[in-house]
Amino acid sequence: MGRFLLGLSLLLIIFLHNSCRKNFGVAISHGDFKVEKDTLFLDSVFTNIASHTYRLKIYNKANKDISINRIYLEKGSQSFYRLNVDGDPGKSFENVLIHANDSIFVFLEVTADINQLTDPVYEDKLVIEDAIKTDSVLLTAFVKDAQFFYPQKYPDGSKQTLVIYTNPDTGETSEVYGFFLTGDTTLTDDKPIVIYGHMAVPSGHTLTIEQGAHLYFHYNSGLIVWEDATLKVNGSLGHEVVFEDDRMEPEFDNKPGMWNYIWLRENSKNNDINYAIIKNAEVGIVAYPSQDANPVLKIKNTQIYNHSLVGIYGVATHIEGENLVMNNFGMSAINLQVGGQYDFKHCTFANFRNGIRNEKSAAVYIST
């Protein structure tokens, strides 16, 4: 039995030796790598705000491992671009191993200060080199100056919030991440306007948005008009006021649910929207009732589309609408609850959404 086990062990050792790869060494690269693309567009980014992460691959097409001498940014440590090569962050990497017939990921981001640029089109090169071959990828981003609105962050790490509901029985509150504007405010088309959290118009004051202004809302952000406050949107033909999300990559151009809503709270008053484009939110406009005899909202010449839930959601409110075009909603273009007073003229309400449809997916849904 002992001789049998000894013989079996020797056979196993011989089998494993013959089955193993004979060459564990790394061959010096001779131009066997291939880069996925020669240009990477990081699209538009706002000044001093990190872009989203982009990626590309470097392939080893050879049947043996290679070591790339160096991967780096041409502008070096002064570059506004950042790299992560196969899991390691930095701006320059040496002796990067790529296994035979394998690849590595290179992840890229950019955070640029437009005040340090002579041209808003900011470029650098990702360089991949060895002793035989050098390749490069042109990196391009368009940097936009912008005006930013965001809640305060306190020394203890907490953030500014807005109380949107107080339970009358328990006193418990519901809050959202947000802030009040300071008094009457006018937004113009001077710079793009980027909003983080919920920007609120305080009671007794008016937010006026002039023609051509472009508002970008970060994820889980919105605009709230408080009791006794007013929103005035003064767009014009060809110079519409745009409300949309802050993802500027082409694949997000018509993606719904990327921000929250424009919310006209109970007893807001005399809200006017003329020549606006409202897109890619969860709900375009939420309108609550008011004790004022005038309409809560007058809205004209406006496009509302690509919202994950509803275009206009009215609760026992008063809305006058004229020349509206509305399409593509997860539920309905118009959803009217608990009665109210509505007058829509020369409007197109459509809903060509994909997926399962029911009565709440109709273009117009009314529940009294």
Task: For 177-188, write each residue's pLDDT tens digit.
Answer: 999 999 999 999
Residue where a domain terminates, one of 97, 114, 144? 144
In a domain, 4, yes or no: no
Q: What percentage of the chain exceeds 70 in pLDDT? A: 89
In a domain, 352, yes or no: yes
Give the pair of three-digit tokens for residue 316: 């026992």
Query: Could you tell me if 115 and 189 lie in one domain?
Result: no
Residue 73 contacts residue 91 (beta carbons within 8 Å): yes
Distance CA(220)–CA(174), nearest Å, equals 15
Residue 324 contacts residue 348 (beta carbons within 8 Å): yes
Give the pair of three-digit tokens for residue 178: 């947000």
Residue 52 has pLDDT above 60, yes or no: yes
User: What is the chain's mean pLDDT, rounded?
Assistant: 90
Query: Could you tell me if 133 and 158 lie in one domain?
Result: no
Query: Could you tell me if 136 and 152 lie in one domain?
Result: no
Residue 347 has pLDDT above 90, yes or no: yes
pLDDT of residue 41: 92
Q: What range does the domain containing 134 cover?
A: 27-144
Distance CA(289)–CA(151), nearest Å, equals 27
Residue 360 has pLDDT above 70, yes or no: no
Distance CA(142)–CA(192), nearest Å, equals 13
Query: Could you tell me if 155 and 117 lie in one domain?
Result: no
Contacts by 288-293, CB closer than 8 A, 24 or more apart? 288/264, 288/315, 288/316, 288/317, 289/315, 289/316, 289/317, 289/318, 289/340, 290/266, 290/317, 290/318, 291/267, 292/267
The CATH number of whichever domain residue 127 belongs to comes to: 2.60.40.10
Query: Could you tell me if 351 and 340 lie in one domain?
Result: yes
pLDDT of residue 11: 43
Residue 21 has pLDDT above 70, yes or no: no
Query: What DSSP character marks residue 309?
Result: S
Distance CA(307)–CA(325), nearest Å, equals 13
In a domain, 9, yes or no: no
In a domain, 211, yes or no: yes
Query: Could you tell me if 153 and 139 lie in one domain?
Result: no
Count of domains forming the chain:
2
Distance CA(221)–CA(225), nearest Å, equals 14
Query: Could you tell me if 244 and 316 lie in one domain?
Result: yes
Query: Could you tell me if 329 and 180 lie in one domain?
Result: yes
In which element (H, E) is residue 2 found?
helix 2-19
Query: Could you tell me if 155 and 191 lie in one domain?
Result: yes
Query: Could you tell me if 50 and 153 lie in one domain?
Result: no
pLDDT of residue 82: 96
In a domain, 21, yes or no: no
User: What pTM was computed for the model?
Assistant: 0.83
Residues paired with 176 in a beta bridge: 162
Residue 328 has pLDDT above 80, yes or no: yes
Query: Could you tell me if 168 and 250 lie in one domain?
Result: yes
At residue 76, the 3 state secondary structure works out as helix
pLDDT of residue 85: 95
In a domain, 6, yes or no: no
Least confident of 136-140, 279-283, 323-327, 352-356: 352-356
Residue where a domain terminates, one of 144, 160, 181? 144
Backbone angles phi, psi at 270, to 5 degrees: 55, 40
In a domain, 98, yes or no: yes
Distance CA(80)–CA(53), nearest Å, equals 14
Residue 13 has pLDDT above 60, yes or no: no
Query: Could you tell me if 104 and 164 lie in one domain?
Result: no
Q: Which residue has the higher pLDDT, 238 or 30?
A: 238
Confidence of residue 30 (pLDDT cuts 50, 70, 90): low
pLDDT of residue 9: 46
Residue 10 has pLDDT above 70, yes or no: no
In a domain, 11, yes or no: no
Residue where a domain terminates, one of 144, 168, 199? 144
Residues 139-189: tens digit of each pLDDT: 999 999 999 999 998 998 888 999 999 999 999 999 999 999 999 999 999
Distance CA(10)–CA(218), nearest Å, equals 66
Cβ count within 10 A of residue 289: 19
Residue 14 has pLDDT above 50, yes or no: no
Distance CA(26)–CA(28), nearest Å, equals 7
